[in-house]
């Protein structure tokens, strides 16, 4: 990751250290084309940081999510998976086959605005997962 990367600048601006663990995990999330469970992040990070422990990965993922740099998503298997927070989007997950597709945040913007207006809440989480049955599984 370059030193001018948004994630690094963001952490430093908030007064946090940019540790090798944080850098490695951010890089793994950024390079991945898919959601990764903490266990998958740990396995990938071990080759970069041989002394890394699994609890450190869990804590770091939680920290990065709190800072808005990682997005946790509940994918229906009782466990969270994480991805790099590169763009605002949501997910549709098929309960039958597990197929997942992204939904652009713009498609739900009016819904978010309506929730804020009717509830008075200021919504700060822009990552939802919807569960259902995909068209392919509906045919079966």
End-to-end, the C-alpha distance of the chain in Å comes to 45
Calculate mean pLDDT across residues 5-24: 89
Grade residue 87 by pLDDT with cuts at 50, 70 and 90: confident
Q: For the chain, which residues make up each domain, given as ranges?
A: 6-84, 89-139
Grade residue 76 by pLDDT with cuts at 50, 70 and 90: low
- Tell me the C-alpha distance between 125 and 110, whole Å: 15
Grade residue 32 by pLDDT with cuts at 50, 70 and 90: confident
Grade residue 2 by pLDDT with cuts at 50, 70 and 90: very low
> In terms of pLDDT, which residue wins out, 91 or 1?
91
For residues 57 and 42, is the Cβ–Cβ distance under 8 A? yes
User: Which superfamily does CATH assign the domain made up of 89-139 to?
Assistant: Ferric-uptake regulator, C-terminal dimerisarion domain (3.30.1490.190)
pLDDT at 38 over 80: yes
Q: How far is CA 30 from CA 5, 55, 81, 86, 107, in A?
A: 11, 21, 14, 8, 24
DSSP string, 71-99: EEEE-SSSSEEEEE--S-EEEEEETTT--
pTM above the 0.85 mark? no
The class that CATH gives domain 6-84 is mainly alpha
């Amino acid at each position: 990751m370059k030193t001018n990367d948004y994630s690094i600048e963001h952490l430093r601006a908030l007064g946090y250290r940019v540790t090798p663990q944080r850098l490695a995990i951010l890089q793994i999330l950024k390079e991945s084309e898919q959601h990764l469970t903490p266990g998958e992040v740990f396995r990938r990070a071990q080759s970069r940081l041989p002394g890394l422990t699994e609890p450190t990965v869990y804590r770091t993922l939680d920290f990065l999510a709190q800072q808005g740099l990682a997005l946790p998503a509940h994918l229906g298997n009782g466990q969270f998976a994480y991805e790099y927070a590169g763009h605002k989007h949501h997910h549709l997950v098929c309960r039958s086959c597990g197929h997942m597709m992204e939904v652009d945040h713009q498609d739900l913007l009016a819904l978010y605005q309506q929730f804020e207006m009717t509830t008075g809440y200021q919504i700060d989480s822009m990552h939802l997962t919807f569960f259902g049955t995909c068209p392919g599984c509906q045919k079966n």
